Amino acid sequence: MKIGVVGCAGRMGQNLVKEIFKTKGCEFSGGTEGPKNAALGEDMGVHLGLPECGKIITEDTEGLFMASDVVIDFTLPKVTAKHLKFAQKHGTSVILGTTGHDENEYLFIKEAAENVAIVKAMNFSIGVNALFALTEQLSNLLDDNFDVEIFEMHHKHKVDAPSGTAIALGEAAAKGRSVDLSDVGVRGRDGITGARKKGEIGFTSLRGGEVVGDHSVIFAGESELIELTHKASSRGIFSKGAVFAALWTGEQLPGLYSMLDVLGFTKNS
């Protein structure tokens, strides 16, 4: 399968290309970068400290979608629409790892998925997707005498908060209780906030160092507490999942899929 990477010189981009290089059944069809990026014009292999691979990093986004069966996008929310227009024009599937989309951007993604297969996940790791499933189950099992709090910590470069994964964990907890996260989610407590209301789902974000991604879901009851925790120690877990999803799209009709679909976790829920 021919797999391209937009934003190939980014932290995730580089990791994704390395994963494509070492995965059976994958051919790296090329990579793009944003305007004025220092990596433009370099050979992708050389950029990664590997032998030349013959693919020069360019700004030719349309050319990349044309040359690829699937394109992996871990870039910025504001460029997603441009990428999805090219995907629809050339029938290219998309693996969308970028987080932080607003409502309009999300609607555009949903519309594009009527024409091409898109796998969108806030987190492509297998462990975190198991955590989504467990969070929903536990939240369904326990009533709102257990207070749900979600904690996340990421590296100092991350620009959005709470993390997309933390929000998705909040959605899983809300789904388990058959409530809407927009009604019960509470972010960024500060000052005299008053006592915690029953049924709230709270979020706390920490930023610092080079932490790849820590997430905990806490169910705090009276005299007992359950904590589900996932710690990512390498970006490789996201790249592995994203490349696995890219290979999976080969069989799929247009539609908006999650990593739970790719892993088959939705079949049992």
What are the residues binding ligand NAD (CB under 6 A)?
6-7, 9-13, 32-34, 37, 74-76, 79, 97-100, 121-124, 238
The answer to whether the beta carbons of residues 95 and 13 sit under 8 Å apart is no
Name the phi and psi angles at 132, rounded to 5. -60, -50
Count other C-beta atoms under 10 Å from residue 217's C-beta: 26
From CA 209, how far away is CA 261, in angstroms rounded?
33
Kindly state the smallest distance separating residue 34's Cβ from ligand NAD, in Å. Answer: 3
Kindly state the smallest distance separating residue 98's Cβ from ligand NAD, in Å. Answer: 4
Q: Which amino acid is at 110?
A: K
Kindly state the smallest distance separating residue 102's Cβ from ligand NAD, in Å. Answer: 13
Q: Which helix (H) or strand (E) holds 201?
A: strand 201-207
Q: Catalytic site residue 154?
A: yes
From CA 124, how far away is CA 241, in angstroms rounded?
5
Comparing CB distances to ligand NAD, the nearer of 98 and 216 is 98
Catalytic residue among 2, 90, 158, 175: 158
Comparing CB distances to ligand NAD, the nearer of 64 and 201 is 64
Comparing CB distances to ligand NAD, the nearer of 146 and 238 is 238
From CA 67, how far away is CA 90, in angstroms rounded?
9
Kindly state the smallest distance separating residue 97's Cβ from ligand NAD, in Å. Answer: 4
Comparing CB distances to ligand NAD, the nearer of 121 and 174 is 121
The answer to whether the beta carbons of residues 97 and 74 sit under 8 Å apart is yes
Tokens 């749900």 found at: 148
Q: Residue 70's closest CA among 112, 122, 116? A: 116
Kindly state the smallest distance separating residue 70's Cβ from ligand NAD, in Å. Answer: 16
Q: Catalytic site residue 89?
A: no
Q: What's the first-to-final CA gap in the chain, in angstroms?
A: 30
Catalytic residue among 83, 154, 230, 240: 154
The answer to whether the beta carbons of residues 260 and 124 sit under 8 Å apart is no
Comparing CB distances to ligand NAD, the nearer of 164 and 176 is 164
Catalytic residues: 154, 158
